[in-house]
Amino acid sequence: MSGNDALFVGLDVGGTTMKAAVVDASGRPAPSVVMATESFKGQEAGLETMCETIRRAVKAAGKTMADIAGIGVATPGTMDIDAGLILDPPNLKPWQNVPVRQHIQEKFKIPTAFQNDANAAAYGEYWVGAGREVKSMVLFTLGTGVGGGIIIDDKVLQGQHSHGGEIGHMKIELGNARLCGCGRRGCLEAYCSATSVVKRTREALVENKNSSLYPLLAGKEEDLSSRAIFTAAAAGDEFAKKIVDGTAYYLAVGSMNLMHIIDPDAIVFGGGMTAAGEPFLNLVKQYINELAFPVPATKTKIRYAQLGSDAGFIGSAACAKYLVHGVL
């Protein structure tokens, strides 16, 4: 079992569900399986659910564990990647100091890679998604927060202390700036996560009673979603257009900073907000052209992600492949 015939399992553990599939050496996934994470049942139960998800993925591919050359596992939250440890993840309470890699490796006697979930998603997009022909790539994942991952020359930039690619927490505003979910002020995430877009909208709506979004202020909380805001903007609502425009500007600031630090071949946007489609991407590109140095502004590829929620397990499988073969 080696070279191009090798098979890997990628497992992507999230706060609500975990998803896994067998992936071949060229990045093609077999049908995926999903199980509930139920972290409240404790970390022993969680580790067993991870193993069971892996087993089911292998079964779903019509294979046995003997066919698997490597396993890759990605998890959210604070971690020590080199040690294979989940530390104290806010989305997986009450887990603490969980030796994920060691547990899975010993259970299956198969080489196991461990990675941050956002880094793994970036690696998946780099391998067979939006970045499959580029040499370096930054992924911004726009959801509840702003996640990210950086890939350079086939390697995940995980950082010396497992904090590489935490690009949602670069500070883009000084002083008493917008409060981020992390408790800091001025983080990129505080301006252009889906949650922040809604927050900025709620704050400004009070003085924009003519907007088609205004009645939603009094409705159910989930009605005033980032999707509703982008839809209103697309329908011509002037207030919503301003919010969307600001969001594009903030994303361009984040992109520009990465262009002047990493200077990647491609910048890729993933997550729910990508539903906003080409007009929004063009707006981001327009601001990047205004903000960044001309060469990276014109030459960097700016795209949406292509793998959706499969990026995590595909990227985890990529980590397994890199671990076993030493190349992607």
User: Which residues of the chain form contacts with a copy of itself (CB under 8 A)?
Assistant: 78, 134-136, 150, 152, 157-167, 169-174, 182, 184, 250, 253, 256-265, 291, 293, 295-296, 299-300
**Least separation in angstroms between CB 76 and a copy of itself:** 15
Alpha carbons within 13 angstroms on the beta-carbon side of residue 87 total 12
Specify the residue, 43 or 158, whose C-beta has the smaller distance to a copy of itself: 158
**Least separation in angstroms between CB 53 and a copy of itself:** 29
Specify the residue, 93 or 163, whose C-beta has the smaller distance to a copy of itself: 163
For 9, the token pair is 């399992």
Specify the residue, 181 or 214, whose C-beta has the smaller distance to a copy of itself: 181
Within 10 angstroms of residue 312's Cβ, the number of other Cβ atoms is: 32
**Least separation in angstroms between CB 229 and a copy of itself:** 20
Specify the residue, 56 or 185, whose C-beta has the smaller distance to a copy of itself: 185
DSSP per residue over 66-100, as a string? GGEEEEEEEE-SSEETTTTEE---GGGTT--SB-H
Helices (H), the chain: 43-60, 100-108, 117-128, 189-192, 194-205, 226-234, 238-261, 277-291, 294-299, 311-325
Cis peptide before 94 (omega within 30 of 0): yes
Specify the residue, 49 or 247, whose C-beta has the smaller distance to a copy of itself: 247
**Least separation in angstroms between CB 148 and a copy of itself:** 8
**Least separation in angstroms between CB 34 and a copy of itself:** 31
**Least separation in angstroms between CB 157 and a copy of itself:** 7
For 80, the token pair is 């020590």
Within 10 angstroms of residue 308's Cβ, the number of other Cβ atoms is: 12
Specify the residue, 115 or 136, whose C-beta has the smaller distance to a copy of itself: 136
47: nearest Cα among 56, 57, 37: 37
**Least separation in angstroms between CB 136 and a copy of itself:** 6
3-state SS string for 185-222: ECECHHHHCHHHHHHHHHHHHCCCCCCCCHHHHHCCHH
Judged by phi (left if over 0) then psi (alpha if -120 to 50, else beta), residue 128 lies in alpha
Specify the residue, 184 or 202, whose C-beta has the smaller distance to a copy of itself: 184
**Least separation in angstroms between CB 299 and a copy of itself:** 5
Specify the residue, 182 or 281, whose C-beta has the smaller distance to a copy of itself: 182
Q: Is 123 exposed, middle or buried (0-12, 13-18, 19+ CB in 10 A)?
A: buried
